[in-house]
Amino acid sequence: MVLFDKILIANRGEIALRIIRSAKKLAIKTVAIYASAEREADYVKLADEAVDLESDELAATFLNIEKIIQIAISTGASAIHPGYGFLSENPGFAKACEENHLVFIGPQSDVLQLMGNKPAAKSLADSIGIPTVFSRKIDLLLPEVEDNQMPYPVLIKASYGGGGKGMEIVYNRAELAKQIEKSSRIALSYFGNGELFVEQYVRNARHVEVQIIGDNYNNIIHLYERDCTIQRNHQKIIEEAPAAWLNPELRHEILTAALKIGKAVNYSGAGTVEFLIDEMGNFFFMEMNPRIQVEHAVTEEITGIDIVSEQLRIASGFPLSFSQDQVKINGYAIELRVYAENPLRNFASSTLPVNSFNLPKNSNIRIETDLNINHHVTNLFDPLLLKLIAFGKDRKSVVQLLEDKIVNLNIIGPETNTKYLEAILAHPDYLQNNTTVEFCSSNHKLLINSYQNPSRPTHLPFLIAYSLQSVYLKSNHSASADIWNYLGYWRLTPQIISLSVDGVIFTTELNLRNRLNPSFEFNGSEISFQAVNKTENNTSITIGEITKQLSHITGNQNNIIISCENQQYSISFLGLLKSYPEAATESESRLNFETGEIKSPLHGKVLEINVEKNQIIKKGDLMMVIEAMKSENRILSPQNAKVKNIAVNVGAQVTDQMPLLFLEEIL
């Protein structure tokens, strides 16, 4: 019995990197596949081989079963790891692997057919006595759903997918009929199958999942549970392990139920059994994800088990390398998902390139990312930028560590959800572990408040100090290394400087004669500061007893974009040529009735146009739907108006700030 010699990874991004890391540890060669736009991605460079899929369309790349199989055969790979998403739960893909004598690193196709189909998995759970909620399959050919005894509200869900894609709560029959087409389209686009089902929505529930893993020798064990209650729009954004609030009795019941389901199908590989727990402490089987999970890292941190390595060993024919009694919980772990999205635009995907970032270095911090400044985010795939995982002795210490580290990520380029995550970590209900899956929707206004009210007043002295450091003090060269920079540069510096911070002009008097103790005038007081350059674009600024970490990118001479505590600012020195191509601001997407122009807020593809020329529309009416990073972004009318002209067609690829349509004001 030997391990695979070579595997193909039918995925991309951070999960592809994660698989490569475990494969290298086991001396297994890897083949990466990539969309043409991602040839500079880290996972492409770190794989032993990489094959261009020669397209940027999802259907022609990561959902193209025939092409992936052909590449695996031609490169001599003996197995395929599907990662998560895409084809990872597609039984047709697993069957194609089997028919072509390739090992699918996951369960057998018949098991995938059963457990990858959410309604079928619920039927299995019912048959072996595990509680489930009401559910019903939707016939897309006859989408009228019988209303008899339908327990509204219900959730529409993709039968062969996860991650909240296509999921929607509906409260009556009319909403259900209206939503079916959209949810099916999303499911088909992202998972290659548009089949849907509905299930009863459990109010104020918690979401707990159990990591199981089995081999081909009838051994199946659990690696305890994860708490995935913090979700936005049914998408997990914070995951924890273990679920600290579970009492021993309920934990035992859930773990036992998960193993019972795994044993019923003789499950092989890594999988996750998911449950909802209501306010009374009753639990209900939701679904089984027969694949590796995005959040598997928190389980690895508390158990010390490399789940991906176990997947590779099991698929190679080896038994589990540990028994149930060897699996112990050690400490606590939490994962934050950082996305390129704009909370002020209903979390629309932000497709600007990442120009700079500052990943924390700490022995208790783990980063999973394919982020690099040479690889721009595209609008083809999921907007996940990175996963920030912290671990420690208990939940309180881990939350504190995350609060300390996320504040200085300082990603420059796209908008991100970092401040949204900060707000969750600081919320009293989260700190007290008193949350439900409705936490984010119930606290929406509070959680995005930091985006609506920037921290400019407290950041301003640090922004000025960093700007002066970047433009006039240059670097921390020693006197012997650069005598001109150390002694003479200040002589060319004017004493009075005017600079613009996000369009607001400030004038300050400088004192840079003592380079070791520079200062400037601010609000009638002299402010001394110290700057320590940690990297080329990352500097710590200390004023008094307060130190903040700042990052920047520069254009020519005077234009600087600075990020301080995850808040981006545009800085320019007046009188010097402005050269930095600034990103579009929120106000630029609003209607300007001098031109009547409505611009696209992002790069994407036009899916729907819901208005016609000369139509009278009201404020808030849906005008257009644009797809970006597999999310649908709604373009709403900013006020009552008449549609003067439509500048694009359905299916058109649009760019950020590209004109979409023209309105005229109704007097």
Architecture of domain 121-452: 2-Layer Sandwich (3.30)
Give me the mean pLDDT over the 306-314 stretch: 98
Reported as type and span, the H/E element at residue 7 is: strand 6-9
Per cent of the chain over pLDDT 90 is 56
Average pLDDT, the chain: 87
For residue 96 the two structure tokens come to 């194609």
- Bond from prior residue into 242 cis (ω within 30 degrees of 0): yes
Other residues' Cβ atoms within 10 Å of the Cβ of residue 174: 9
Least confident of 431-435, 453-457, 473-477: 473-477
Give the H/E segment covering residue 389.
strand 384-392
pLDDT digits (tens, 9 = 90+) for 47-70: 999 999 999 888 899 999 999 999
Tokens for 416? 């991100």
- Evaluate whether 216 touches 194 at the Cβ level (below 8 Å): no
Residues 351-364: tens digit of each pLDDT: 788 888 999 999 99
- For the segment 176-208, what is each residue's pLDDT rounded down to a tens digit? 888 888 888 888 877 778 888 888 889 999 999
Q: Are 242 and 227 in contact (CB under 8 A)?
A: yes
Sequence-distant (≥ 6) Cβ neighbours of residue 308 within 8 angstroms: 18, 19, 21, 22, 270, 292, 296
The DSSP bridge partners found for residue 628 are 631
pLDDT (0 to 100) of residue 102: 98
Query: Looking at residue 190, what is its pLDDT?
Result: 74
- C-alpha distances out from residue 556 to 312, 467, 502, 666, Å: 50, 14, 18, 44
At 261 the pLDDT is 97
DSSP element (H, E) containing 401: helix 395-406
CATH for 456-573 is: 3.30.700.30
- Given the residues 206, 291, 313, 337, select the one marked as catalytic: 291
Q: Which residue has the higher pLDDT, 212 or 370?
A: 212
- Say what the pLDDT of residue 591 is: 45
pLDDT, mean of residues 242-252 = 97
- The CATH code belonging to domain 586-665 is 2.40.50.100
- The pLDDT, as a whole number, for residue 232 is 94
H or E stretch at 431: helix 428-431
Residue 654 CB neighbour total at 10 angstroms = 22
Helices 118-127, 248-264: inter-axial angle, 10-degree rounding: 110
Is the predicted pLDDT of residue 479 greater than 70, yes or no? no
Secondary structure of the chain: what % helix, strand, coil (to 5)? Answer: 30, 30, 40
CATH 3.40.640.10 fits 6-105, yes or no: no
Confidence of residue 132 (pLDDT cuts 50, 70, 90): very high
Task: Provide φ and ψ at 659, rounded to 5°.
Answer: -60, 135
582-621 burial by CB neighbour count: b if 16+ within 10 A, else e?
ebeeeeebebeeeebbbbbbbbbebbbbebeeeeebeeeb
* Residues contacting 445, CB < 8 A, separation 6+: none
Cα–Cα distance between 256 and 271 in angstroms, integer? 15
Residue 223, pLDDT score: 98
Which tens digit of pLDDT belongs to each residue from 524-571?
899 999 999 888 788 999 999 999 999 988 754 457 899 999 999 988
Contact 414, 352 (CB under 8 A): yes
CA proximity to 227, closest of 271, 274, 259, 260: 274
CA–CA distance, 48 with 31 (Å, rounded to integer): 6
| 266-278 mean pLDDT | 96
**Is the per-residue pLDDT at 490 higher than 50?**
no
Question: How many other CB atoms are found less than 10 A from the CB of residue 238?
Answer: 24
Q: Taking a C-beta distance cutoff of 8 angstroms, is the pair 16, 85 a contact?
A: no
Task: Give the mean pLDDT of 568-581.
Answer: 62
Domain range annotation of the chain? 6-105, 121-452, 456-573, 586-665
**Model confidence pLDDT, tens digit, residues 135-166:** 887 866 555 555 566 788 888 888 876 667 77
What CA–CA distance (Å, rounded) separates 50 from 43?
9
**In the predicted model, is pLDDT for residue 219 greater than 60?**
yes
The tokens describing 313, both together, are 């060993």
Which alpha helices (H) appear in 36-166, and where do they start and end?
Answer: 42-46, 65-75, 91-99, 109-115, 118-127
Indicate the pTM of the whole model: 0.83
d(CA 599, CA 619): 16
Q: Look at strands 196-200 and 135-138 and give their pairing.
A: antiparallel
Residue 291 appears among annotated catalytic residues? yes
Upper half-sphere CA count for residue 554 (Cβ side, 13 Å) = 15
What whole-number distance in Å separates Cα of residue 578 and Cα of residue 580?
Answer: 6
